[in-house]
Amino acid sequence: MKSLGITGNIGSGKSSVLSFLSNNRTSTYDLDKVAKEFYKTEEKIKQKVINSFPNAVSKGNQIDTNVLGKLVFNNPKNLNNLQNIVWPSLKNFILNKIKNNSSELIAFEGAIIIEANWHKIFDHIWIINSDLELSKERVINNRNLSENNFNKILKNQNNVKNMIKILEKDNIPFTLINNNSNLKSLNQKILEEYKNLILSDRKHI
C-alpha cells in the first residue's frame, strides 16, 4: 500500500488529478472538503471556530464557510488562528485513514500539504504544476473568482520551486507533473505515474 500527497498552487489541476484517481481503485480525500465537513460534524472544532469567529456564524448556529473565508483571507492573524484549530485534526484524519486503508493507493489532495509539514507523512508527493496564466484562466472561468482574489490566494501559497526545495531537503520522493494541456493529456500522465507507484510498491512485497 502506498500513500500519496497531491499538492500544487490554485488552478493547477489538483482536483482533476484526485478525480481521476478516485475512478482507478484509489481511496481519495480532498482535505479542503474534509476541513469544511469538520465544521459540521466535529463539535469541538465547530465551537472553537464559533468562539474565534462569531461573525461567521449563520442561522441555526452553523458556520458560513464563505464568511469564514473572507475573515481569514489576507489576514495572517486570523488565518493562523484557524489553522491552529483545524490542522491538528486534519493531520490525525490523514494518519487514521492511512492506518486503516486496504486499497493499493490512498491519496490526499491539498494546497497546504507542504506548508503544514504533512509531506513527511506520505510515501510520495505529486506536485501539480501549471503556467500562471492558464491557472488564472481556469480559476476565473470555473470558480467565479476575481483576478484580484486569485492573485491574493496565490501570494499566500508556496511556489513550486520552494515546494521542491523543501521536499529535496527532507528527502521526500516526489514527482512534478506539468498540466499545461488538456484533461486527456493530464489523465494520461496521471495513469502513467499511478502505474509507476503501484508497480514500485508491488516489487517490495
Domain spans in the chain, listed from the N-terminal domain onward: 2-202
Summarize pLDDT for 36-89 with one digit per residue, the tens: 999 999 999 999 999 999 999 998 899 999 999 989 987 999 999 999 999 999
Does 172 score more than 50 pLDDT?
A: yes
pLDDT given at position 90 = 98
Per-residue confidence band for 202, with pLDDT thresholds at 50, 70 and 90 = low
Of 108, 86, 101, 82, whose CA–CA distance to 5 is shortest? 108
CA 102 vs. chain centroid, Å, equals 22
Does 204 score more than 70 pLDDT?
A: no
Q: What is the DSSP letter of 9?
A: -
Return the residue matching grid coordinates 500527497. Answer: 5
> Which residue has better confidence, 154 or 190?
190
CATH tag for 2-202 (out of 3.40.50.300, 3.30.450.20, 3.30.420.130, 2.102.10.10)? 3.40.50.300
pLDDT given at position 205 = 43
Q: Which three cell numbers stand for residue 92?
A: 490525525
Question: Rounded to whole angstroms, how far apart are CA atoms 113 and 116?
Answer: 5
Summarize pLDDT for 80-136 with one digit per residue, the tens: 999 999 999 999 999 999 999 999 999 999 999 999 999 999 999 999 999 999 999
